[in-house]
Chain A
Amino acid sequence: MSATRSIYMDHAATTPCDPRVVEAMLPYFTEKFGNPGSRNHRFGWEAEEAVDEAREKVAALLGADPKEIIFTSGSTEGNNLAIKGAASIYERAPAGSAGRGHIITATHEHKATLDPCKRLQKEGFDVTFLEPPRDGVITAEMVRGAMREDTILVSIMWANNEIGTINEVPEIGALCHDRGVIFHTDATQWAGKMPTDVEEAKVDLLTLSGHKLYGPKGVGALYVRRRKPRVRLQAMIDGGGQERGFRSGTLNVTGIVGLGKACEIAAAEMGADGARLLALRRRLEQGVTSRLEVTQVNGHAERRLPHIANISFGFVEGESLMMAVKEIACSSGSACTSASLEPSYVLKALGVGDELAHSSLRLSLGRWTTEADVDFAVEKIVTSVLKLRELSPLYDMYKEGIDLSKVEWAHH
């Protein structure tokens, strides 16, 4: 590939490690390589101390007690452990029978939440998949409406990964605590970006991942409430009994140290970072929508993370748009970028028309995104959309005043 300018706007997929994180991790690969499980020599103690310190930093980011933090390999594991682990403890009837309990989640959750819920559904649990309204926000009222006498678990993400919308988590937490229902939130996109207090939000289980907050990949944390109520989980990985039995396996010390450092930096800098990112996101959205007709910023206008923009462009297809803006690394809701050839289920769940769901870009900004990057992206996106509209039969029809929804398409 040529040395053209390349701008990373896919921070919702993964973030680069902060150099301060890498620096903190390095000694734990070589000199301080011990196993925290080795209780009788210096190497083990050193490693254990580092893990304890990281645990405190993660807990501090969430307003939790360090004893409430379980280290995992990331959010997929965290969500699986939280959802399946809670379901098998709080079930109303044993495996093999029906009516094991009711679970509430939403159709635009991440697959790492949906698929564990679907597995539980096959295993005798009832699952309600809430359908989000057009603005994408799940409210406490929606959850209340779905609650049943046998509801045991609610799993609603704090903020959505594709559109950045923020659900009513503290309100849902309060509702769940009132009803004695366990509340899990996937905070992968939220934690480290927005102020978090698990006490105030009445969250029982919270998932986060290192590589979404400028830490390393392959490490994450699950917050498990210890008081009011003391939440229990069935472990999924059995073995040496590490992490108080919730998650066996030798601790990923380097990763954990990195996650701790990343959380520490996030806690100190999220205020300034968030304000800067919000201004950049608005500049991006306004820059693009003010210069192009038939565009749509997806998700609630206000209740959105500062760094995620999801924009649909009428009459152009997402994958070809991504090819046209190849200098910008971003993602698309286009079917053609997914293995399944289905357009984004998240945008579909929001009722975004198929033709607009095929034509969306998710641009997610990060700690090192500059105003110049945003201006470059706006220019590139605008010229590319105009160029592709020149190629688009749909745009011609629109210009001629033909109603695209009334055309008889040859479906294939």
Chain B
Amino acid sequence: MAYGPKIIEHYENPRNVGTFGTQKEIKERKDIGVGLVGAPECGDVMQLQLKVNEKGVIEDARFKTFGCGSAIASSSLATEWIKGRTLDEAEALKNTQIVEELSLPPVKIHCSVLAEDAVRAAIADYRRKNGLEAPAGQDAHAAPAHG
């Protein structure tokens, strides 16, 4: 696959790689929302963790991705974009923005969809942990994977 320079750049220098703790620790922390989407047999799994402050702003984000170069680049870019945003703003992130920014080839569009899903799943997890309702008009069950 011949990739554009932006994908390669994110792949080679991924931003915000890591976690805020083990799976067990994370489960108990109310300030952190986790999204785990994809499946190993499909060839990509993304884990996105958000650290949210009391004002509802995403203070920090971390990701780990098992997947192709575009999947890694898409998740790296997504963490960059959502940092400093409110949950509602982050939820408005669309996969098409990732496609455009990275110039993803058509066969790799699913990677951007997965990144969008990961963001939504992490936000939903945070809200669930904190007993928050999704704002009206938002798709409350958008968290799990598509199709």
Contacts and interface: CB of A to CB of B under 8 A. Distances in A.
Interface of A: 315-317, 319-320, 323, 334-337, 339, 341, 343, 353-355, 358, 390-397, 400, 402, 404, 409-412
Contacts of B41: 343, 353-355, 358, 409, 411
13 contacts: A320-B69, A323-B3, A337-B1, A341-B107, A353-B41, A355-B41, A390-B17, A391-B17, A393-B64, A393-B66, A394-B40, A396-B64, A412-B113
Contacts of B37: 410, 412
Contacts of A391: 14, 17, 64-66, 72
Given A320-B11, A320-B67, A393-B47, A412 B39 contact: yes
Contacts of A315: 66
Contacts of A336: 1, 43, 67-68
Interface stretch (B18-26, B86-94, B96-104, B124-132): B18-26
A392 B72 CA distance: 10
Contact of B65 (A334, A393, A411): A393
Please indicate which of the listed interface residues A336, A395, A396, A400 has the most CB atoms of chain B within 10 Å of its own CB. Answer: A336
A171 B69 CA distance: 45
B68 A317 contact: yes
B83 interface: no
B17 A412 contact: no
A337 B68 CA distance: 9
Contacts of B11: 320, 323
Interface residues of B, number: 40
A409 B45 contact: yes
B114 interface: yes
A410 B72 contact: no
Contacts of B66: 315-317, 391-395
Given A409-B40, A410-B38, A402 B23 contact: yes
A358 B43 contact: yes
A336 B39 CA distance: 14
A109 B76 CA distance: 39
B95 to A, nearest CB: 13
A336 B46 CA distance: 16
Interface SS of chain B: mixed
Nearest to A394: B66
A400 B1 contact: no
Given A410-B37, A412-B147, A394 B69 contact: no
Given A393-B47, A404-B40, A412 B114 contact: yes
B59 interface: no
A335 B43 contact: yes
A140 B43 CA distance: 35
Contacts of B44: 317
A393 B36 contact: yes
A392 B68 contact: no
A410 B11 CA distance: 24
A316 B44 CA distance: 9
B25 to A, nearest CB: 10
B85 interface: no
A142 to B, nearest CB: 27
A354 B37 CA distance: 17
B69 A358 contact: no
Contact of B68 (A319, A355, A396, A402): A319
A332 to B, nearest CB: 10
Interface centre among B14, B43, B113, by most chain A C-beta atoms within 10 angstroms, is B43
A367 B144 CA distance: 51
B42 interface: yes
B145 A343 contact: no
A337 B3 CA distance: 12
B141 interface: no
Given A355-B41, A396-B64, 15 more contacts: A317-B71, A323-B69, A343-B41, A358-B40, A391-B72, A393-B64, A394-B66, A397-B23, A400-B23, A410-B38, A410-B39, A411-B41, A411-B42, A412-B146, A412-B147
A412 B40 contact: no
B110 interface: yes
A317 B46 CA distance: 12
B107 to A, nearest CB: 7
Nearest to B14: A391
Contacts of B65: 391-393
Contacts of A343: 41, 43
Contacts of B46: 393
B68 A412 contact: no
B72 A394 contact: no
Contacts of A397: 23
A319 B1 contact: yes
